Amino acid sequence: MWAATSPSQVASTVLTMVSMGADCTMVDSEGRTALVLSKSSALNPALSTLMQTASGVSPDSSITERDAKTTAGMRKTESQLSLTERIRNWNWRSNSSKRSSGVEDALRYNHLASSGLFQVFNICDYEDKSRYDLRVGSSSDVNALRKMATELSCEIEVFENQGHKEMKKQLKTLAKDSMRLEKHGWLICVIMAHGNNGKIVVPDGKELQIKEIVDQFNSYHCSALQHKPKVFIIQACRGERMDVQRPTDSGPSGDRSSYSPVESDILIFYSATEGYASYRGNTEEEVSPFIQTLCKVITEYHRTEHLADMLTIVNRRLKETPIESAQGVVACYAVPQIVSQLSKKLYL
């Protein structure tokens, strides 16, 4: 590509590419790197110095006084634009870390040009109130998710109290909307509801298999998300086991079932270990420790950590924080469960 182009044009192009994260060690058909080209006598010395700086090499000490003045002028303009600083400190999401190597880049999901999509299903009001209590604190959890999505500059949609048919239709419609999904680098689907092991309960009392929800977005049913990460966050009980009586997201006991993802690039984050209840508060203030901690951790660490590491931090914080009843009695130490088949690191 570079052989038929003047060195100055090459350097200008490479400089732009470097600012976007390109590798300064790339070579042309003659084996010349951007750094070698930047030292060409045909280049403006100031531009040569800037290219050397971008490559992490000290500027050539043989620059003449006249060239130094030109370079100083160039640096002043560049300083105003903070270009060199951006190049030196560039990384995927933050200027606090060094730019990763090509090998490291291959281990990341490549979605820099597109943001993620949040789909939140909050089921808090049930028709049969004798069996399913009102999930009062869930409104605060929704607000926390909205705030987190804003911090991540992501699109978010919230669906409240959808019935069995309505929810299945919404999921299927989204999975088939290729034009929309192709604009996004990843999908996070959050479901907050009463539930049993492997199932969630919708307002009309019907159960929906978590496996059925996840399968809507595998590569067979949703080609637009093929090779893209799909994350499912489930705030619901997975059984009846608990330490003391307390409002939970558990429904009546039912058949036990399990779900093991067979498709790649899928992660499911459960609020409880298999067989255990998922604890939550019974007032507006007593929100879900799981959702609240998740939002806080992602907001705090998303610029430097990938998702799997952030979820591990969530697990540790919840493990170290006892959940107490209104009377101050320790109910349990909640430990969520991560089921992951992600094949790369996901940076939000």
d(CA 198, CA 208) in angstroms, rounded, equals 9
C-alpha neighbours within 13 Å on the C-beta side of residue 119: 20
Q: Bridge partners of 159?
A: 121
Q: Three-state secondary structure along 51-94?
A: HHHHCCCCCCCCCCHHHHHHHHHHHHHHHHHCHHHHHHHCCCCC
pLDDT at position 236 is 86
Rounded to 5°, angle at Cα 206 from 198 and 169 = 90
Q: Where are the domains of the chain?
A: 7-90, 116-340
pLDDT for the residue numbered 268: 94
Cα 34 to Cα 25: distance, rounded to the nearest angstrom: 7
Which stretch of DSSP H or E encloses residue 192?
A: strand 186-192
Euclidean distance between CA atoms 48 and 58, whole angstroms:
11
Neighbours of 255 (CB within 10 A): 9
* DSSP bridge pairs for 190: 120, 233
Per-residue pLDDT tens for 138-172?
889 999 999 999 999 999 999 999 999 999 999 99
CB of 154 within 8 A of CB of 118?
yes
The tokens 């009586």 sit on which residue?
A: 245
Task: List Cβ neighbours of 148 (8 Å cut-off, separation of 6 or more).
Answer: 295, 298, 299
**Low-confidence residues of the chain, pLDDT below 70?**
1-104, 111-113, 239-263, 275-277, 279-286, 323-334
Q: Which helix (H) or strand (E) holds 249?
A: none
Cite the active site residues: 194, 237
Classify domain 116-340 at the CATH topology level.
Rossmann fold (3.40.50)
User: If you average pLDDT over every residue of the chain, what do you get?
Assistant: 73
Span 230-270, pLDDT tens digits: 999 998 877 655 544 344 455 544 444 444 344 689 999 99
